[in-house]
Amino acid sequence: MSINTRAIIVVLLLISFLILTVMGLSYFLVSITGIPARLNIPPGFRLMGLFVLAMGFFLLFWVFKYRPFSDILVSTYVSINAAISKQDQTAQGQRIEPLIITGPHKFIRHPIYTAVVVILAGWWLLMDYTFLLFFAGFMTLWFNLVVAPFEERELRNIFGDQYDTYARTTPRFIPSILKRQSGKPE
């Protein structure tokens, strides 16, 4: 089995496990805390969920225009292997793709994570299931506290000053027109 095939299978299984675990935890917390399963969001407001979903999927597919899904999975696999084997906590020398700073990456450093949270928020608005709101919140914390810091450390080790310059001028998750124009560090 080639590394690409193995990478795709392993990463998809890990992502599926993460999704099921966090979704189960979200559902469990809603159940034990007595928070209503539905918040009775008005229908007009719930329809906004379609717009939010569309924005999330647009962002996700915009990412795939600049970076193929399979490349993302292989890169993730290499990073996970480096983290597990504690190879200087990075995949330096193993990741060969260039630093992508075009498309959605021109506006935010982590458009996939933003897209996932936006999609989850859209599903929550549309379906009005409280556990989906918890799920979006947990994923926001996971991306912000665990995944993004690891990935940014890795990218700094791989790309050095090029990544530092990019990180100083590009917000992490939420685009900021003011920041892009001023170029001030985050």
pLDDT at residue 101, as a whole number: 93
Chain centroid to Cα 171, Å, comes to 14
- Give me 45's structure tokens: 């407001």
In a domain, residue 113? The reply is yes
Q: Read off the CATH number of the domain in which 159 is found.
A: 1.20.120
Assess if residue 159 is contained within a domain: yes
Measured from the Cβ of residue 26, the count of other Cβ atoms closer than 10 Å reads: 22
The pLDDT of 73-91, averaged and rounded, is: 72
Contact criterion met (CB below 8 Å) for 154 and 82: yes
Q: Is residue 84 part of a domain?
A: yes
Number of domains in the chain: 1
Give the Cβ contact number of residue 36 at 10 Å: 9
Give the mean pLDDT of 60-83: 87
The answer to whether the CB of 130 falls within 8 A of the CB of 36 is: yes
Per-residue model confidence as pLDDT tens digits over 21-64? 999 999 999 999 999 999 999 998 999 999 999 999 999 999 99
pLDDT given at position 185? 45
Q: Cα-flanking dihedrals φ and ψ of residue 174, to 5°? A: -115, 125
Percent of the chain residues past pLDDT 70, beyond the cut: 87
Residue 160: how many other CB atoms lie within 10 Å: 11
Flag whether pLDDT at 183 surpasses 60.
Answer: no
Whether the per-residue pLDDT at 148 is higher than 90: the answer is yes
By the 8 A CB rule, do 111 and 63 touch? yes
The reported pLDDT for the residue numbered 4 is 76
Domain membership of residue 183 (yes or no) is: no
Residue-level pLDDT at 46: 92
**Helices marked H in the chain:** 3-33, 43-66, 69-85, 111-127, 130-142, 148-159, 161-169, 177-182
Tell me if 181 is assigned to some domain: no
Does residue 19 belong to any structural domain of this protein?
A: yes
Residue 182 lies in a domain: no
Domain with 138 in it: 3-173
Degrees (nearest 5) of the Cα angle 2, 59, 114? Answer: 85
pLDDT for the residue numbered 93: 53
Nearest C-alpha neighbor of 105 from the set 53, 137, 140, 151: 151
Q: Indicate whether 75 belongs to any domain.
A: yes
